[in-house]
Amino acid sequence: MTRSSCHHCDEFSRLSLLRRGAAEAGRGLPAIERGMPTPAGTGLDRRGFVAGAFGLALSVYGLGKLKLFEDGIARAASGPAQPVLVSVFLPGGADSLSVLYPALDPNYKKLRPTLALPESAGPVFAEDTRLHWHPSLQPFATLHAEGKVSVMPAIGYAHPDQSHFTSRHFWEVGATDARLTSGWMGRYLDHHGTNDNPLQGLSLDYQLQPSLASQRVPVASLAAPDQYTFGAPGVWGQVETRMLEALTALGARRSDPFLDQAAKATKQSDRLRRQLAPFAKNSGNGFGSPVPYPDVDSDFPRQLSGLAAMLAANLPVRCVAITAPGEYDTHSDQPQALADGLDVTARTLFAFQRDLEARGLANRVLTLVWSEFGRRGEENGSGTDHGAAGSAFLIGERARGTMVGEFPGLANGLDEDGNLRPTSDFRGVYSGLLEQWLGADASAVIPSAKSFARPALVK
């Protein structure tokens, strides 16, 4: 496993992915039917599959002594199937008044003389016919009609902060507290995760998503599950095996706090390398997704198809965080920017949902799509400035599929700054997900959890 082959396979898999995507473009997503071939990995005894795959990888690396660790992963993977929560962040503050737009409200055209979308542009939202879906969100409308999307048309918190960073931070830590440094999913894992499984909190990104920042247990971040290898130029065979053992040793605890931070990153990377060894072996073959994902210039489809494959292989993933493609801070040129971002995001999440259904995993995964705030009611010419309540979506077969909070309307629904008032609180949604989906005690994770109303989120 040399460095150059790694780089080339990266290029290669990207290329082959593009080719495959091109070959299938225009065919649309296939319906899920009986008699489709069983996806790779299903049907195998979980423990057997994981332990077997790791045994193979470990013998390659000659790390036979790590039997205990191998058992640890296998145990985590062979327990009862754990529910998985995926958090998808729309960065910049997506405009809730375009995501679900009040087409016929006379105030809408007054506030948005150039940006207002025509009534016919997007499908009507069945639960509140005053609203229409943004045309790019047709895939969400389809899933909603199947009862798989809960819509939060005006979600936020009292005394909204219009700073991207502060408001995003509130959502990430699960509290309106600027000083909290651990993420809300990180704290959940601190209580319910284990000390030897970085994959339990998976940041599908080039760096750690703050909502997964934990204090006690390890979490992982990786951009692509099939490329997590550690080769070195001019090193191979037995010496390479020894080198990787030394890498493990470099991860040992240090007394200086920042030296220790580097050692921790070393240690967690080393663990992740071993967890993902089975994928590294299949590098270049894609993830065997049974449905096509959008063929676009974005990592998002590949990251989610990789996630579905990891779940199909029973890797012990529990909380996932990822940033959606697109730029939602639409101070100017809003129509195109918003349509482009929502289009790739919605089509990919649709493919992900169909992928999970085809692999028989759909009852294990819920996806929460959110943004740090919505935007100002009144447009500024070609865009909109920062606002208050935004929109969020909970997607999945087990999502209850009914609206959380209502659309407050534009006549009385704007606050003194001209921003949409929230009709649901993100901390209530988090608490509901912790209790109803993850089976956890919300008050151990969300500060003052008791004070927030719990919407019914799961069926």
User: Which CB, 273 or 400, lies closer to other proteins?
Assistant: 273
Report the nearest approach of other proteins to the CB of residue 336 (Å): 14
Residue that has been written with the tokens 């109303």 in this structure: 453
User: Which CB, 341 or 428, lies closer to other proteins?
Assistant: 341
The only residue of 1, 235, 296, 339 in contact with other proteins, by rule CB under 8 A: 235
Q: How far apart are CA 251 and CA 267, in angstroms?
A: 4
Note whether 84 binds other proteins by CB under 8 A.
Answer: no
Select the span of 265-273, 306-314, 345-353, 390-398 touching other proteins (CB under 8 A): 265-273
**Which is nearest to 43 in space by CA: 397, 290, 360?**
360
User: Which CB, 206 or 285, lies closer to other proteins?
Assistant: 206
**What residues form DSSP beta bridges with 322?**
88
Structure tokens at 184: 């809300």
Please tell me the number of Cα atoms within 13 Å of 356 on its side-chain side.
24
Note whether 256 binds other proteins by CB under 8 A.
Answer: yes
Note whether 61 binds other proteins by CB under 8 A.
Answer: no
Helix (H) or strand (E) holding 319: strand 319-323
Report the nearest approach of other proteins to the CB of residue 24 (Å): 27
Helix (H) or strand (E) holding 394: strand 390-395
**What residues form DSSP beta bridges with 86?**
320, 367
Number of other residues whose CB lies within 10 A of the CB of residue 144 = 23
CA-based radius of gyration for the chain: 23
**Which is nearest to 155 in space by CA: 396, 448, 403?**
403
Count residues binding other proteins (CB under 8 A). 66
Report the nearest approach of other proteins to the CB of residue 210 (Å): 8
Report the nearest approach of other proteins to the CB of residue 340 (Å): 14
**Which is nearest to 271 in space by CA: 233, 320, 315?**
315
User: Which residues, numbered 204-233, are part of the site for other proteins (CB under 8 A)?
Assistant: 205-208, 210, 213, 220-223, 228, 230-233
Note whether 239 binds other proteins by CB under 8 A.
Answer: yes
The only residue of 120, 215, 261, 451 in contact with other proteins, by rule CB under 8 A: 261
Note whether 319 binds other proteins by CB under 8 A.
Answer: no
Here's the x/- map for other proteins, 366-405, by CB under 8 A: it reads as --------------xxxx-xx-------------------
Alpha carbon 421 to chain centroid distance?
26
Report the nearest approach of other proteins to the CB of residue 268 (Å): 5
Q: How far apart are CA 163 and CA 372, in angstroms?
A: 9
Select the span of 36-44, 107-115, 256-264, 343-351 touching other proteins (CB under 8 A): 256-264
**What residues form DSSP beta bridges with 100?**
133
Select the span of 138-146, 186-194, 257-265, 291-299 touching other proteins (CB under 8 A): 257-265
Q: Are 138 and 125 in contact (CB under 8 A)?
A: no
Report the nearest approach of other proteins to the CB of residue 186 (Å): 12
Q: How far apart are CA 203 and CA 434, in angstroms?
A: 19
381 exposed, middle or buried (CB, 10 Å; 0-12, 13-18, 19+)?
Answer: exposed
Select the span of 53-61, 65-73, 162-170, 294-302 touching other proteins (CB under 8 A): 162-170
Note whether 330 binds other proteins by CB under 8 A.
Answer: no
Q: How far apart are CA 398 and CA 85, in angstroms?
A: 11
The only residue of 8, 30, 417, 448 in contact with other proteins, by rule CB under 8 A: 417
Q: 270 vs 197, 228, 242, 314, CA distance in Å?
A: 11, 10, 13, 20
Report the nearest approach of other proteins to the CB of residue 25 (Å): 26
Report the nearest approach of other proteins to the CB of residue 164 (Å): 7
User: Which CB, 134 or 386, lies closer to other proteins?
Assistant: 386
Q: How far apart are CA 420 and CA 116, in angstroms?
A: 16
The only residue of 82, 162, 282, 298 in contact with other proteins, by rule CB under 8 A: 162
**Which is nearest to 417 in space by CA: 390, 391, 386, 392?**
386
Report the nearest approach of other proteins to the CB of residue 187 (Å): 17
Note whether 80 binds other proteins by CB under 8 A.
Answer: no
**Which is nearest to 377 in space by CA: 89, 152, 101, 92?**
101
User: Which CB, 40 or 235, lies closer to other proteins?
Assistant: 235
Residue that has been written with the tokens 């493919």 in this structure: 351
Pairing of strands 424-425, 149-156: parallel
The only residue of 95, 161, 226, 372 in contact with other proteins, by rule CB under 8 A: 161
Structure tokens at 175: 């509290």
The only residue of 1, 32, 44, 247 in contact with other proteins, by rule CB under 8 A: 247
The only residue of 22, 36, 126, 250 in contact with other proteins, by rule CB under 8 A: 250
* Contact partners, residue 112, CB within 8 Å, separation at least 6: 97, 378, 379
Footprint of other proteins (CB under 8 A): 3, 91, 161-166, 178, 198, 203, 205-208, 210, 213, 220-223, 228, 230-240, 242-243, 245-247, 249-250, 252, 254, 256-266, 268-269, 272, 327, 331-332, 380-383, 385-386, 417
